[in-house]
Amino acid sequence: MPIKANKNANTIRILTNNTEYQIKVDKFGILKHVWYGRPVWDDMDHLLDYPGIGFAGNIHESGDRREYSPDTLPQEYGCSGGADYRVPSISVVFEDGSRTVDLRYIGYTIEKGKYSIPGLPAVYASDDDAETLEIYLQDIASELVVRLRYGVLPQYDVITRSAVISNKGSEPIRLENAMSFCLDIPFGEWDRMTFVGRHAMERVPDRQPVDPGIHESSSARGASSHQQNPSVILCSKDCTETSGECYGAALVYSGSFKTQVERDQLGGTRLTMGINPDLFSWELGAGEDFYTPEAIITYSGEGFDRLSQNFHGVIRNNVCRGKYKLAPRPILINNWEATYFNFDEEKLAAIAKQASKLGVDLFVMDDGWFGKRSSDTSGLGDWTVNESKLKGGLKPLVDRVKSFGMKFGIWFEPEMISEDSDLFRAHPDWAIAVPGRAPVLSRSQLLLDLTRADVREYLYGAISDILNSADISYVKWDFNRSICDWYSHGIPKERMGEMPHRYMLGLYELLERLTHDFPDVLFEGCSGGGGRFDAGMLYYTPQIWCSDDTDAYERTKIQYGTSFIYPVSAVGSHVSAVPNHQTGRVTPLEARAVTAMAGSFGYELDLGKLSDAEKAAVKEQTARFRRYDDLIHNGSYHRLSDPTADKFAAWEYVSFDRTEALVHGMVFRTEPSAMRYRIRLRGLDPEKLYRFDTDGKIYSGTALMNGGILLPRTWGDYAPFELHFTEF
């Protein structure tokens, strides 16, 4: 059993295949965090010996023991208003206006299987693959009860964290902060890695020292955002891909979030993560419960590579769901960069017919097919076919595409509404806007109020009607602006602080209903590319459009950062036209292909404009991707270079039986009279022999992983390479 409780020592140990997590209840009932790291098989409470510190408050029961203070103790869930002045996990306003919370231990339960969370996405697992620990805490002066939940998946070295906050009293209270977890690390010098950027340049790793004070990564945009990702890594100063200690956390939530890392006065480090409290309050009535979103946490003593394998495994197998979770994804062609809004049935059919000859499986019709939609200034919300573009509606086009042997997909932006739309003219109160204020526009659009049941019902009906009207196999679910002007006509004014979280609950409800009722449809998430790339969306959409930047060189950096947390199978990635529409850069077709193969592969260009040689290359690429599909999507993924710092990008896929390996990458600039670059492979069996396809030479796994292999000589800039090895 992974969860072991020693009642005599008041200690609970959580064991995974390679880690141990220790919790201890002290004699005052405070729940202390004792250890998280490699298995130690011993009580590590002896490490927690703190001096008396001036201005560190002491709980009343400790008497003259001035060395005992919640302000210095490592804890499992920090409280606000009392003697702990560090960043809190919970903040409450009680019915008398007081704000002090002092949680003490009252019990625990251990059950087989993995807990679920009502209305929220969460890791799932069978009774044989997981256990759940719940620890019960109660405030000493009220009937506030908190259940800390730990889901343990030993094979991935993963522990999930969530909290249930319950009002057992007779009067309402108000939550102002409800973090998903708290992790206190008493010792060590740490760096903090977050994943930052902007639209079309998302999730670039940013590694900074954890200096004294509070360091924050957050979004207040109503979405997890392009600018910050709801994930973080704490790593030792010497941590590399293959050595050193690191802790990772990823929030299973798609709305506004906050991650805080605080280095305190004694050198300890506290990490908290959860809903952004700057945009949150919640009235908790008598007898009511509040469920925080879940966070996935993991530890590696073997560097970033092992940490990423842990995240990849649990997200791919225990977050993503449905028919396409592990199945091969269709190779698609999207018309957006080929036509933008300027298309009709004939133009789309011509693209699809050409694509079918080159091995593409799925044609996706992007924005512009509905309402009065000839630009991005009108039509959103009017989800009916624009028959001036598509004569006779959707079905004739779908049937025509299917006659080419292809499947059909379609773009939606369901959460948005244009002021110039029939829906807005009929229901202006459905748009998020503050009465008496001109609303903030972004991309000339507003948002629909998904906190309202009537809005969700309208969207479900409109989307269902389209999906039932023809044989549609794929939906691209887009979200092209941040949220502000938080106001709902359906929420009492004194509870308007609940709106941002209620919006997410409404979105998840709608997605759950649609994905359940249309199980054969592949849903892909999108938010101007990667503005909502998080584990919460992956629960409903097993792949997400990684970035609107399709420049192959830039994509090596974007996909590099993404890979620290998210598996390749989650990444939507396409070959686009050159000069690239975002940067003007010209890269070889093969460089664009190997970069796009690091994800759910496809094309976003007008194939009719390619030369015969380029068409032949595309046909070969689609065949090659099918050959490697299972290896790429379901094998282990390894970063072999840092494209933000190195002169080349290289990454590797290894089958789980370690009989096959594939290396892809790009040399950014070819230099004359230069030594060839060396890479060292990872994840192979050191005792196996491997045949290199290029020249037929045989190498041992030990030689390839320790000595390495040279990259081929290149010609020109952005030169691609592919190295394939099979067991000999």
Structural contact between residues 687 and 642, judged by C-beta atoms closer than 8 angstroms: no
- Residue 450 has a pLDDT of 98
Determine what percent of the chain falls in helix, strand and coil, rounding each to the nearest 5: 25, 30, 45
| Residue 41: band (very low, low, confident or very high) from pLDDT cuts 50, 70, 90 | confident
Q: Is 526 helix (H, G, I), strand (E, B) or coil?
A: coil
- Residue 516 has a pLDDT of 98
- pLDDT at residue 497 is higher than 90: yes
Residue among 241, 534, 548, 604 flagged as catalytic: 534
- pLDDT at residue 619 is higher than 80: yes
- pLDDT at residue 143 is higher than 80: yes
Q: Which residue in 77, 257, 290 sits closest to 173, CA to CA? A: 290
| Residue 1: band (very low, low, confident or very high) from pLDDT cuts 50, 70, 90 | confident
- Residue 310 has a pLDDT of 98
Taken as a whole, the chain contains a residue count of 728
Pairing of strands 416-417, 446-447: antiparallel
- pLDDT at residue 42 is higher than 80: yes
- Residue 576 has a pLDDT of 96
- pLDDT at residue 630 is higher than 90: yes
The yes-or-no answer on residue 614 being catalytic is yes
- pLDDT at residue 55 is higher than 90: yes
User: What is the phi/psi pair of residue 574, to 5°?
Assistant: -130, 155
Does 154 sit behind a cis peptide bond, omega within 30 degrees of 0 on the bond before it? no
Helices within 520-648 (DSSP H only): 535-538, 552-562, 589-596, 612-634
Residue among 494, 614, 646, 657 flagged as catalytic: 614
Digit-coded pLDDT (tens) for 316-371? 999 999 999 999 999 999 999 889 999 999 999 999 999 999 999 999 999 999 99
Chain centroid, CA 714 distance in Å: 35
What does pLDDT average to over the chain? 97
Q: Which residue ranges make up each domain of the chain?
A: 3-7+76-318, 332-545, 648-727
Cα separation, 496 vs 245, whole angstroms = 42
The yes-or-no answer on residue 64 being catalytic is no
At the topology level of CATH, where does 648-727 sit?
A: Immunoglobulin-like (2.60.40)
Cα separation, 135 vs 5, whole angstroms = 11
Complete DSSP assignment for 121-189: ------TTT-EEEEEEEEETTSSEEEEEEEEEEGGGTEEEEEEEEEE-SSS-EEEEEEEEEEEEE-S--
Overall average pLDDT of the 98-121 stretch: 98
Complete DSSP assignment for 427-462: -GGGB---TTSPPPPBTTBEEB-TTSHHHHHHHHHH
The CATH number, out of the four listed (1.10.357.10, 2.70.98.60, 3.40.50.300, 3.40.50.720), of the domain defined by the range 3-7+76-318 = 2.70.98.60
| Residue 443: band (very low, low, confident or very high) from pLDDT cuts 50, 70, 90 | very high
Cα separation, 345 vs 112, whole angstroms = 54
- pLDDT at residue 9 is higher than 80: no
Instruction: Please give the DSSP secondary-structure letter assigned to residue 696.
Output: -
Cα separation, 184 vs 247, whole angstroms = 11
- Residue 570 has a pLDDT of 98
- Residue 7 has a pLDDT of 83
What's the CATH code, domain 332-545?
3.20.20.70
- Residue 608 has a pLDDT of 87
Digit-coded pLDDT (tens) for 451-466? 999 999 999 999 999 9
Distances (CA, A) of 393 to 364, 387, 504, 662: 16, 6, 33, 44
- Residue 391 has a pLDDT of 93
- Residue 64 has a pLDDT of 86
Question: Which uninterrupted H or E stretch holds 310?
Answer: helix 303-318
- Number of DSSP helices (H) and strands (E) in the chain, helices first: 12, 38
Token pair belonging to 705: 């992983």
Digit-coded pLDDT (tens) for 704-720? 999 999 999 999 999 99
- pLDDT at residue 541 is higher than 90: yes
What proportion of the chain, given as a percentage, has pLDDT over 90?
Answer: 97
Digit-coded pLDDT (tens) for 235-280? 999 999 999 999 999 999 999 999 999 999 999 999 999 999 999 9
User: What is the phi/psi pair of residue 136, to 5°?
Assistant: -100, 130
Contacts with 507 (C-beta within 8 Å, 6 or more apart), sequence order: 254, 415, 450
- Residue 539 has a pLDDT of 98
